[in-house]
Amino acid sequence: MRIKKGDRVKVITGAYKGTIGEVTSVFPKEDKVIVEGVNMVKKHQKPTQANPDGGIVEKEAKIHVSNVMLWDEKSKKASRIRMEIKDGKKVRVYKTSGKEVKGK
């Protein structure tokens, strides 16, 4: 999977199409990611000691990795990436600008 935690991505399809956000979690076995502010769902929670009131909590749900593309700040576009070897290390490079991808 070429998308990592901390990357800025743009949603390219679905109800949240066009939204740009940061990846907060990655699930490589499922090919899914969680992006901040995208795919918000309401979850009903029972009262617990930590949350004695319970209630309805809004949180982000997983989205398939094929529905997002990395966001290139330099060219202000969603971009594919390619792998290059620099100083003996594999690095991710934007195809639109040729700039190296900086994660967290």
In a domain, residue 50? The reply is yes
Q: How much is the pLDDT for 29?
A: 96
> Total structural domains in the chain?
1
pLDDT digits (tens, 9 = 90+) for 22-47: 999 999 999 999 999 999 999 999 99
Spans in the chain with pLDDT lower than 70: 103-104
CATH value at residue 69: 2.30.30.30
Backbone dihedral region for residue 53 (phi beyond 0: left; psi -120 to 50: alpha; all else: beta): alpha
pTM: 0.84
Q: By the 8 A CB rule, do 64 and 49 touch?
A: no
In a domain, residue 102? The reply is no
Q: How much is the pLDDT for 104?
A: 60
